[in-house]
């Protein structure tokens, strides 16, 4: 990665990711550092996501919708009650109906690194 690489950024974000599929969480833990960001927590369900956000106060949340115990949408709605953190939804399902202003991007799985980089760039603007 060089400074001229369009996928990297000089604004490093602290990111919490949530997905019930371990391989997706692993994907984010590999890809996000390559984009210049740091994964500060990884959750397998919505309740863990809420706990991580309370503990870590991330700059960005990337979450799936359908997860056990609590959906990603329910979790980010709960998180929004105590902190304002931008959210990128990554799902293989249709775009959710929600009025949560913290949800800034919706990406359909599978996602490529350049799609993720573009979504994060939107958050940074």
Q: Whole-model pTM?
A: 0.90
6 is a domain residue = no
9 is a domain residue = no
Note the pLDDT tens digit of each residue in 4-34: 344 555 589 999 999 999 999 999 999 999 9
- Give the total number of structural domains in the chain: 1
The tokens 């949340």 sit on which residue? 61
Mean pLDDT of 54-77: 96
Positive or negative CA dihedral for 53, 98, 121, 81? negative
Q: How many CA atoms lie within 13 A of 15 on its CB side?
A: 27
| 2: pLDDT strictly greater than 80 | no
CB 40 within 8 A of CB 57: no
The confidence band for 95, taking pLDDT boundaries of 50, 70 and 90, is: confident
Q: Is 57 left (phi over 0), alpha (psi -120 to 50) or beta?
A: left
What average pLDDT is seen over the chain? 91
More confident residue, 79 or 97: 79
123 is a domain residue = no
The domain spanning residue 83 has which CATH number?
3.40.50.2300
What domain range includes position 56?
14-117
Compute the distance between CA of residue 28 and CA of residue 67 in angstroms, rounded to an integer: 17
pLDDT value at residue 7: 52
4 is a domain residue = no
39 is a domain residue = yes
Strand ranges of the sheet holding 60-63, from the earlier edge strand across to the other edge: 38-43, 14-18, 60-63, 87-91, 103-108
92 is a domain residue = yes
**Complete DSSP assignment for 67-98:** -SSS-HHHHHHHHTTT----EEEEESSPPP--
pLDDT value at residue 6: 45
3 is a domain residue = no
């Amino acid at each position: 990665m060089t400074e001229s690489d369009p996928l990297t950024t000089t604004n490093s974000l602290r990111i919490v990711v949530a997905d019930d599929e371990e391989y997706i969480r692993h994907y984010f833990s590999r890809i996000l550092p390559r984009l210049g960001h740091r994964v500060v927590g990884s959750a397998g369900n919505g309740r863990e996501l809420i706990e991580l956000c309370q503990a870590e106060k991330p700059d960005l949340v990337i979450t799936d919708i359908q997860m056990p115990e609590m959906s990603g949408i329910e979790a980010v709605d709960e998180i929004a009650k105590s902190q304002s953190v931008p959210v990128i939804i990554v799902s293989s399902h249709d775009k959710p109906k929600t009025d949560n202003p913290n949800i800034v991007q919706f990406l359909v799985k599978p996602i490529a690194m350049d799609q993720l980089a573009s979504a994060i760039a939107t958050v940074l603007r």
